Structure 1
Amino acid sequence: MDWLQIIVLSLVQGVTEFLPVSSSAHLILVPVLSDWPDQGLAFDVALHLGSLLAVVLYFRHELVSMTASWGRSVTGRGTDDDARLAWWVILATIPVGLAGLAFADTISQVMRSPLVLAGGLIVFGVVLGVADWRHRGTRSEYRLSGRDALWIGLAQVLALIPGTSRSGITMTAALMLGLSREAAARFSFLLSIPVIVLAGGLEALELTKASTPVAWSDLAAGTVLSGISAYLCIHFFLAFIRRIGMQPFVLYRLLLGVALIWLFG
């Protein structure tokens, strides 16, 4: 891989992993707009690792508190807001974990067409716009109930449909349940941690079966660049939506969906 390909793929993964714009739609455009060869599974794992390190680093204080409180709740020493939030992250991850194991291969084979991507971008973009416009509230992620977490988790299953955007659909569900924009985004980012671990773990398992040589310098560069871009994306996105909201991303999704229809229709 040349350095331009490493940089572009790393930035695309790092930024679109957390924005509500669908990373799958962007990653399919990269080979269309270039003549680069496939980057390979090992590089995909490195990019996911960078995104994971970024979100863990950004929420490190919250994660330490949540883990400690969750441990106390498991041993019967009381349950506080941090423990409940940890439980809700676990609960909301179960549906997509089960659905991913059952249907991921089928979806990836049957529904990876650009037109499906375009449909997911447009339809779920409109739903996000409506949720941001009419249903957002003032609740924080710490005021979620178990039922709320389950609904968000069920919504997250829809992210298996290409073009939906995992972050986009979870933020949409959270907004409809009355969370503030920032709280919806923060809970979505926390949910990304187990999802990236599960997805990256499956990719790493597949990688152990391969016998191709590994370009360690490319992997290291991809991890670092993906991690830096993802960290900055989280930081600026939270500040951005607090002031402006989701509508610019909705417009972007609609334009990208139309562009995919124009290119592949």
Structure 2
Amino acid sequence: MTLFEAIVFGIIQGLTEFLPVSSTAHIVITQFVFGYTFPGLSFEIFLHLASVLAVIIYFWKDLWNVIRGFFLYIVKQQAEDRAQFYFGIYILIATFITGILGMLMTGLIADSMKTPPMIAGALFVTGFALIFIERFHKYGTRTVASMNAKDAVIVGLGQTLAVIPGISRSGATLVTSLLAGLDRETAVRYSFLLAIPVILGSTVLAINDFSMGIVDHIGGINLIVSFIVTFIFSVIGIIWLISFLKKSRLIYFALYCFIVGTLVFIFIDPSTIMDVE
């Protein structure tokens, strides 16, 4: 891998991880474009760790409040900590559902979904889901204080679909949160905080695929640069998405998914399918 390719992969991973456009699809598409094959999942795991570090640092206050409120409520049972305690429970419920079903689906799907036609189709599904929630569903008004276990189950099921390349994790969690009746601010916060245990959990489960041979294949300097670039652009993506959603609409992401899906379907030859694990 060249330094330029390492930078490009870092930018793609960082910008798309938290936008509702599927980072997995974009990484696979970038591999198709470069004609590059990763040896195992080591490099992808490495980049995901940079993204999760970005969200932990950016949302450290929210994360700390949830953790602090969770344990304080267990110890003191004070009403002021109740909302954070249950919010933590709902994060765990959604993560558990995603983890269990995700492992089952990953075993069934494997690399059969990492093909240009399937990725293009999944991007269209993401786009239609974003349009539906934007144009045909009234936004809810419920906040963290009025969330319940049903919300967590719905979001966990939706998030599970993100094992399919082209189905955005952030898009799935946003759509299902809004579909459950949460307000936009709560849905966005829930989506970002859910990314932490999901990404860390998937990293732990894939740890057997991590190999120190990645240094020989990618290059030590390239690894460091790609990690830093991913972290920086993940922060940029988080800040931009939060700002964007305060004044604009999800439909623009839907249009983007349609455009990318169409380009993939037209210009990427299915015969170029490679082992992208």
Any idea what the Cα deviations from partners look like across 1:42-64, whole Å, max 9, x if unmatched? Answer: 32222111101100011100111
The residue aligned with 2:258 is: 254
Aligned pairs, number: 264
RMSD, matched Cα: 2.0
Q: Aligned pair 1:48/2:51, yes or no?
A: no
In 2, are the aligned partners of 1:93 and 1:153 still within 8 Å (CA)?
yes
Report the identity percentage: 31
TM-score of the two chains, using structure 1 as the length reference: 0.91
Of 95, 98, 101, 2:100 maps to 98
The CA deviation at 1:3 is: 1.5
| Helix, strand or coil at the partner of 2:70 | helix
Q: Aligned pair 1:71/2:71, yes or no?
A: yes
The CA deviation at 1:73 is: 3.1
* In 1, Cα distance between equivalents of 2:223 and 2:146: 40
The CA deviation at 1:137 is: 2.5
* In 2, Cα distance between equivalents of 1:101 and 1:48: 18
Of 68, 82, 94, 2:84 maps to 82
| Helix, strand or coil at the partner of 2:141 | coil
The CA deviation at 1:219 is: 2.4
The residue aligned with 2:142 is: 139
| Helix, strand or coil at the partner of 2:21 | coil
| Helix, strand or coil at the partner of 1:80 | helix
The CA deviation at 1:72 is: 2.2
| Helix, strand or coil at the partner of 2:165 | coil
In 1, are the aligned partners of 2:21 and 2:126 still within 8 Å (CA)?
no
Structure 1 residue ranges (4+ consecutive) displaced by more than 6 angstroms after TM superposition = none
Distance 1:122 1:212, change over 3 A: closer
| Helix, strand or coil at the partner of 2:210 | helix
TM-score of the two chains, using structure 2 as the length reference: 0.88
* In 1, Cα distance between equivalents of 2:256 and 2:65: 36
Of 117, 139, 144, 1:115 maps to 117
The residue aligned with 2:186 is: 183
| Helix, strand or coil at the partner of 2:110 | helix
* In 2, Cα distance between equivalents of 1:14 and 1:82: 29
* In 2, Cα distance between equivalents of 1:91 and 1:11: 31
Q: Aligned pair 1:220/2:227, yes or no?
A: no
Letter in 2 for 1:169: A
Q: Which runs of 5+ in 1 are unaligned?
A: none
| Helix, strand or coil at the partner of 1:259 | helix
The residue aligned with 1:153 is: 156
Letter in 2 for 1:160: V
Any idea what the Cα deviations from partners look like across 1:132-163, whole Å, max 9, x if unmatched? Answer: 22232233344321111111111111112221
Any idea what the Cα deviations from partners look like across 1:178-206, whole Å, max 9, x if unmatched? Answer: 22333222211111101100112233332
* In 2, Cα distance between equivalents of 1:45 and 1:161: 17
In 2, are the aligned partners of 1:118 and 1:256 still within 8 Å (CA)?
yes
Q: Aligned pair 1:172/2:211, yes or no?
A: no
Letter in 1 for 2:206: E
* In 2, Cα distance between equivalents of 1:145 and 1:200: 28
Worse-superposed segment, 236-245 or 71-80: 71-80
Q: Aligned pair 1:230/2:230, yes or no?
A: no
Q: Which runs of 5+ in 2 are unaligned?
A: 271-277
The CA deviation at 1:36 is: 4.2
The residue aligned with 1:62 is: 62
The CA deviation at 1:40 is: 5.5
Q: Aligned pair 1:243/2:255, yes or no?
A: no
* In 1, Cα distance between equivalents of 2:190 and 2:238: 12
* In 2, Cα distance between equivalents of 1:257 and 1:141: 35
